Amino acid sequence: MTQHPDIPNPVATGIRAPARLLTANVPGAPIRIGQHVTVTKAIDETCLADQIGCSGVVVHLEYSCGCGQTYPADPMIGVQLDDGRTDEFWLEELDCPKEECDDLATRTR
């Protein structure tokens, strides 16, 4: 991924780059804005145990916060959960209904 000139490089500066939330679909991204998903597991400490089993809707994709994302295939995925909370998840932490995404479950296992 190419570093945007207006966003500090977190490695060089020792600071975390500001997140840029993309609220439109990204060609090549593994998931779509508006897609219904369920949190099925935690792959790191950022996913809270009480979020597992929660459902929600994808509201943004994020590629610049310095968590190791790659564009366009591996974003952090912003989900507004049914309880009103919004949080970010990795694709591997999510599943979606078969009618919306036939191959998401295959790609995340």
User: Any idea where the domains of the chain sit in the sequence?
Assistant: 10-107
Q: Is the pLDDT of residue 47 over 70?
A: yes
What is the number of other CB atoms lying within 10 angstroms of the CB of residue 100? 13
- Provide the pLDDT for residue 12: 47
Q: Determine the Cα–Cα distance for residues 18 and 68; give it in Å rounded to an integer.
A: 14
What pLDDT is attached to residue 89?
93
- CATH code, 10-107: 2.30.30
Phi, psi of 89 (to 5 degrees): -135, 160
Look at strands 36-39 and 55-62 and give their pairing. antiparallel
Phi-psi region at 84: left, alpha or beta (left = phi > 0; alpha = psi -120 to 50): left
Mean pLDDT of 26-30: 93
Assigned token pair, 74: 């591996």
- Considering 7-21, 73-87, 93-107, the range whose residues carry the highest mean pLDDT is 73-87
More reliable by pLDDT, 83 or 19: 83
Task: Look up tokens 């809270």; give the residue.
Answer: 48
Q: Out of 16-30, 73-87, 95-109, give the one with best mean pLDDT.
A: 73-87
DSSP 50: G
